[in-house]
Structures are given as structure tokens and as C-alpha cells.
Chains A and B, each alone.
Chain A
Amino acid sequence: MKSFNYKKHNDYSWSMIIDLDRCNGCGACVIGCQAENNVATVGEEEVGKKRNMHWLRIERYIEGEYPHVKVRFLPMMCQHCAQAPCESVCPVYATYHNPEGLNVQVYNRCIGTRFCGNNCPYSVRYFNWFDSSFPEPVNNQLNPDVSVRERGVMEKCSLCMQRIRRGKDTAKDEGREVQDGDIQPACAQTCPTGAITFGNINDHESKVYKMAHSGRAISLFEEKGTHPAVKYLKGGTNDVIG
């Protein structure tokens, strides 16, 4: 019987740090994620019905009145909680915690009860309301490493599991451990300001470990006790210049 902090005994424990001071809300990470993971574009009407499928979304919190407006940007994706509320409520084990600290979603097991989506306090789980369509020539852009989900399954950020796999395979081929910086999810790769950092928090030399222990690191909804693997660095301001 494993306890929830069993990951400490494993080699890898993936974590992501998002520096809120550097995020300027450009949204490039959203596009990068969509391109990498074959995320469907649902169209204007469906987005109007709040059915957008952005695995990573930029939340904007606006304070103040014009012209003294302050906007805060919060890139929100699956927090990969160690005590994920979504995992225990799935009736068919379509989502569980893998030994490397990721909350994985098994698309072909999911029957679409959407209980996990209800129980996520961050509301980061997305449901395929229709079949996704990738008409010509967009289908040429699909990533062969990632499946295209059919209608009726839940999906969410997987911390680019396919890139983690590739990184681990490459390291194995070369007979070494994965080094810090080997694996970059699409959002981290795309971010122009370098706000997103990914790495193995079990490696005490890694950037994410140092950032997580920097004193600026917070977890969202910490009072809910979900112990997310994604942490945010607070501090600084995001004033609109001018």
C-alpha cells in the first residue's frame, strides 16, 4: 500500500514553476499547448457557451477603474495535485496518480461522467462535447505523439507527457539520467519571457527545486490541501505601463 508521498522515493517528480512576475499575459503558451497536444478549436459559438478547450488558459484579474487599471495574469492549467480531488471520484480509474507525480488521464478508459471535472477546484478539466474536427490542411499540423480524443472524454494538461517520455528515452539511450532542462513542455518552450520552468523537483540542483524553495513559491488554493505539483512565484507587480 503506497502513501501519497511515495513519489519522494522515486527518481523523478515532475514539477512546474510559473513566475507571475514575468508573465505578461501574451498567451503564446496557450497556442503552444494547443499545437503540441492536438487540442481542438471549438469555434466562436462554442467558446461563447464557455466550452473552450484551452488546456492552459490565462486568467485575467482586473483591479481598479480606468485609467488606473491593474491586471494580473494567471496561467492556469492542471496543477497535478498530489491529493487530487479529481482522481478518487472517477468510477473507472480513468485518472490516477502516476509514480512520477503526474495526474494522468487515460482517454480510452474515460466514459465521460464528468465527476472529475466537477471536483476540480481549479476548473482545469475539459470535456470533449463534440468530435474535434481538423479539416484540411490543419490536420497536417497534428502531433503524431499525441492522440486525438473522441467526443465524450475528459482531457487536461498532461505536462506534455509525450515530451517527458521522449526525454527519458533519450536519456536512457545515452545511459544517463534526465538532466535539468532536457525536457520542456510546449508552454515552457514557447514562453517569451521564460516565466514557465519545468523540471524534476527531486533533483536538488534543478531550477524548479531552487525556485520552489525561494520563499516566493505559493500553491493555489492551498487551504484545500491538494498539494499541487505546479507552483507559482508571487511578488512584483504587473502594472500596465503608461
Chain B
Amino acid sequence: MSDHYTVLGLYRKVETITKAGDPIREAFGVKDGDIEVLSSAAYPDGALLDDKELLHQVESRQFLFPFLMGFVGFGAGVILAGGTGYIMNLIVGGKSPFTYAPTGVITYEFTLLFGVIGSVLSLLYYAGLPNWTDRAYDPEVADGALGLLVKVYSKEDQEKAAKIMEDYGAYKIKKGVNDF
């Protein structure tokens, strides 16, 4: 695995960071996954960086996790409530051991439970969390600074990227190795 280099530039204003994104991309032919904007709050999609293709891909597939897990939950509910009723062949209250309505209730609950699990899994998978390694980050982002993080593959590119970011108004540059 070859090394990669990161440059993190911190900006104070939105208009400056939006202007810096495209030149960086053009200068290095950066793939969509290699450039990121760090912020302390959620900006509308595409507001800070033109990343629609990647985001759309992720978005359209993220829904599958809770959806498919919902089906797993459905099966789990039917097996649990209906199946155990079937194998525990006891008559209670004159009712048949397998009943539709109580099985339906339990199935509903379990479908939603697995939907919750699926949603969380989708977050962890697509956001690449948890990742406790020392990654390129600056605590000032939490205080309102906006960070533009780019991943390049050579030291010269790193210097060039840092220069471009400064030109576009970054007030602080951090460079790193293998910490994208």
C-alpha cells in the first residue's frame, strides 16, 4: 500500500471554502471519495462541495439496509411468535396454538426493531465509523471553522494543494501522512 498525503485547510467563511473546492479537484484530478469538507453542523447536500454523484450513490443504497433488515425482522417475528406457538402445542383459552393476530403484533414489533438495527448499520457502514485512529482533523472545526480535506498521492502534490488552499483563503493548513 502506497502512502497517501493529506492536506487540511481551515476556512472561516462559507463562500471562501466553496470557491476552493473546484480548483483543488481540477489541479489533481481528485476522485470523489478523496475530498471532504469538515463542518460542525450539517449543511444541505452539495452546499459546500459539488459531490452529488458520490452522495447520490450512497443515498440510493443506504435505504436498502433498513429495508432488507425489515424483512429479516418480519421472518424473525413470524418464527418466534408463530413458530413457537406451533411447536408448543398447548391449548390456552380455547384458542388454536397458532394465532394470526398475536403473531402479527410480534411480527410488527420485530420488523421495526430490525429496521432500527439496519439504519444504524447503514450509518456505520457508509460513514466508515467507528474509526478511532488519529485522522486528519482539527478541533477548531467544532468551533465553527470549515475544513477542506484532500487526499493526494505525492509530497509535491501535497505542497501544491497547500498553496492552492492558502491562495483561496485558508487561515490554517495541516499536513499529514496516511490519515485521511
Contacts and interface: CB of A to CB of B under 8 A. Distances in A.
Interface string A1-20: 11110100000000000000
Contact of A84 (B89, B94, B97): B94
A4 B94 CA distance: 4
B90 A1 contact: no
A4 B96 CA distance: 8
Contacts of B1: none
B88 A2 contact: no
B130 interface: no
A195 B93 CA distance: 29
Contacts of A88: 92-93, 95
A87 B96 contact: no
A119 to B, nearest CB: 9
B93 A87 contact: yes
B41 interface: no
Interface residues of B, number: 11
A2 B92 contact: no
Contacts, number: 41
Which secondary structure characterizes the binding site on chain B?
loop
Nearest to A95: B92
Contact of B93 (A2, A6, A85): A85
Which secondary structure characterizes the binding site on chain A?
loop
Nearest to B96: A1
Nearest to B85: A1
23 contacts: A1-B96, A1-B97, A2-B89, A2-B96, A3-B96, A4-B91, A83-B93, A84-B92, A84-B93, A84-B94, A87-B91, A87-B92, A87-B93, A88-B92, A90-B92, A93-B88, A93-B90, A95-B92, A96-B91, A96-B92, A97-B91, A97-B94, A227-B94
Interface of B: 88-98
Interface of A: 1-4, 6, 82-90, 93, 95-97, 227
Given A1-B97, A89-B93, 4 more contacts: A4-B91, A95-B92, A96-B91, A97-B94
